[in-house]
């Protein structure tokens, strides 16, 4: 068995963030009470007594309002701190356990999964005991056979919330030996997502065109409201419209993310080697790159990083071909260089060898061949 923690950004409701704050506070309170009782016990008997959070629940009934496993984990933390005090390793030994101050201690707590009390719901929420479903950006979907062990909620100093989910999984699956002939090449397409070496088009457009139209409509409405409200205080209607527009934005982002996950999972399941162009996304977005690949809007960078970890999880390969490799200028059949293909308006390559092929498919074939060459070079 192996473990892996994935940290997700979460967006709790006001009510949920109040519960988080309460739980952080109760954890700190219980930790300090237990530490104090241990010290007092030692003074009285010469031994550190065993202390449990349950002991304090009558005196501080509000402790019952929060996740009891979060408090139980504080007991384990304290035991660990005591054990480390005795440890000879300098790295572990931070000296005698200290009280946690409200100001300086880390705002976090850990809870355990007990038969589904912690779960990822619809790839949109993380379910927690006493909290319910917390809205989350599931940038990374665990494999179906991964089991959730625990979740650590934290609030960083900038106020952002995260949940780090600890998974357990069988390592047997990672002994898979990739078949290097089961390969695909992908050419980036700014107007879709990619074109593969078989000429298939991967796209994420169709899924949210409707939402885009809706967004455009609501945005026009918003800007009309803005124009008519020059200098004036923003009306309730304006705020309402702004929230509406933001909601559509979020919906589109989620749709796109879902679709990128779907496509990248399909590819990672089907192929053992995926060859792509390494694109310098920042240079493209800042300076236009001069090759028409100026749009980042279709999430290609995110798509590549999903492919990268999904393939690596399966013991498969993502091979990045240098971005200067002239994939769209070489005839994949005879190797002739066609500098005229630098002109993006030319969508079809016609070569003297008799080949006529779409520019994107030809590029994808070249990326595939170059990727496989690189792969055997390394191996
Ligand atoms: Zn040719």
The per-residue pLDDT for range 276-315, each reduced to its tens digit, is: 998 765 444 433 344 444 445 568 888 999 999 999 988 8
* Collapsed DSSP state (helix, strand, coil) of residue 363: helix
* Strand partners for 350: 356
Q: Tell how far the Cα of 291 is from the centroid of ligand 1, in angstroms.
A: 23
3-state SS, 137-168, equals ECCCCCCCCCEEEEEEEEECCCCCEEEEEEEE
The answer to whether residue 347 is domain-embedded is: yes
Token pair, residue 73, equals 């984990």
Q: Tell how far the Cα of 317 is from the centroid of ligand 1, in angstroms.
A: 29
Catalytic, out of 258, 313, 360, 370 = 360
The answer to whether residue 209 is domain-embedded is: no
Q: Is the same domain home to 147 and 283?
A: no
Q: Is the same domain home to 28 and 107?
A: yes
pLDDT of residue 255: 82
The answer to whether residue 241 is domain-embedded is: no
| Residue 145: active-site member | no
- Domain of 297? 183-204+256-378
Q: Is the same domain home to 189 and 335?
A: yes
Q: Is the same domain home to 200 and 119?
A: no
The answer to whether residue 244 is domain-embedded is: no
The per-residue pLDDT for range 40-81, each reduced to its tens digit, is: 999 999 888 889 999 999 999 999 999 999 999 999 999 988
Q: Is the same domain home to 111 and 200?
A: no
Name 28's Cβ contacts closer than 8 Å, sequence gap at least 6.
100, 102, 105
* Collapsed DSSP state (helix, strand, coil) of residue 84: helix
Catalytic, out of 187, 272, 313, 370 = 187
Residue finishing a domain among 144, 169, 194: 169
| Residue 65: active-site member | no
| pTM, full prediction | 0.60
Q: Is the same domain home to 198 and 116?
A: no
The answer to whether residue 211 is domain-embedded is: no
**Burial call 137-149: b when 16+ CB within 10 Å, e when fewer:** ebbbbbeeebebe
pLDDT of residue 91: 64
Catalytic, out of 67, 196, 258, 277 = 277
Q: Tell how far the Cα of 284 is from the centroid of ligand 1, in angstroms.
A: 30
Q: Is the same domain home to 7 and 135?
A: yes
Q: Is the same domain home to 68 and 113?
A: yes
The answer to whether residue 16 is domain-embedded is: yes
Q: Say if CB 279 and CB 256 are below 8 A apart.
A: no
Separation of alpha carbons 144 and 122, rounded Å: 13
Q: Tell how far the Cα of 268 is from the centroid of ligand 1, in angstroms.
A: 31
The answer to whether residue 236 is domain-embedded is: no
Nearest CA among 378, 375, 377 for reference residue 181: 375
Q: Say if CB 118 and CB 129 are below 8 A apart.
A: yes
Q: Tell how far the Cα of 356 is from the centroid of ligand 1, in angstroms.
A: 9
Number of domains in the chain: 2
Q: Is the same domain home to 152 and 199?
A: no
| Residue 187: active-site member | yes
The per-residue pLDDT for range 242-284, each reduced to its tens digit, is: 899 988 888 887 788 888 888 999 999 999 999 999 876 544 4
Q: Tell how far the Cα of 319 is from the centroid of ligand 1, in angstroms.
A: 25
């Amino acid at each position: 068995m192996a473990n892996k923690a994935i940290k997700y950004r979460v967006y709790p409701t006001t009510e949920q963030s109040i519960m988080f704050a309460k739980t952080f506070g109760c954890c700190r309170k219980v930790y300090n009470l237990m530490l104090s009782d241990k010290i007092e016990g030692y003074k009285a008997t010469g031994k550190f007594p065993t202390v449990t959070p349950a002991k304090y629940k009558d005196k501080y009934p509000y402790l019952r309002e929060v996740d009891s496993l979060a408090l139980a984990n504080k007991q384990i933390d304290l035991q660990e701190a005591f054990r480390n005090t005795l440890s000879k390793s300098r790295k572990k030994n931070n000296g005698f356990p200290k009280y946690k101050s409200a100001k300086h201690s880390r705002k976090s707590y850990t809870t355990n999964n007990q038969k589904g009390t912690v779960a990822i719901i619809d790839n949109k929420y993380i379910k927690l005991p006493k909290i319910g479903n917390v809205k989350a950006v599931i940038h990374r979907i665990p494999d179906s056979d991964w089991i959730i062990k625990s979740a650590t909620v934290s609030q960083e100093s900038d106020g952002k919330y995260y949940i780090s989910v600890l998974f357990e999984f069988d390592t047997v699956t990672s002994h898979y030996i990739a078949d290097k002939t089961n390969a695909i090449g992908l050419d980036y397409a700014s107007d879709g997502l990619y074109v593969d070496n078989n000429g298939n088009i991967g796209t994420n457009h169709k899924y949210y065109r409707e939402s885009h139209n809706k967004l455009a409509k609501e945005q026009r409405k918003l800007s009309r409201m803005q124009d008519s409200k020059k200098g004036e205080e923003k009306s309730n209607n304006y705020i309402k419209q702004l929230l509406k527009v933001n909601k559509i934005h979020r919906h589109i982002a989620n749709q796109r993310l879902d679709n990128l996950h779907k496509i990248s999972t399909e590819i990672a399941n089907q192929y053992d080697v995926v060859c792509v162009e390494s694109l310098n996304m920042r240079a493209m977005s800042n300076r236009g790159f001069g090759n028409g690949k100026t749009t980042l809007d279709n999430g290609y960078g995110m798509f590549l990083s999903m492919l990268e970890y999904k393939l690596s999880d399966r013991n498969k390969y993502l091979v990045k071909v240098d971005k200067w490799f002239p994939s769209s200028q070489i005839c994949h059949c005879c190797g002739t260089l066609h500098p005229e293909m630098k002109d993006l308006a030319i969508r079809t390559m016609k070569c003297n060898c008799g080949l006529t092929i779409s520019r994107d498919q030809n590029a994808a074939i070249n990326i595939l061949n170059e990727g496989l060459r690189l792969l055997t070079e390394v191996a």
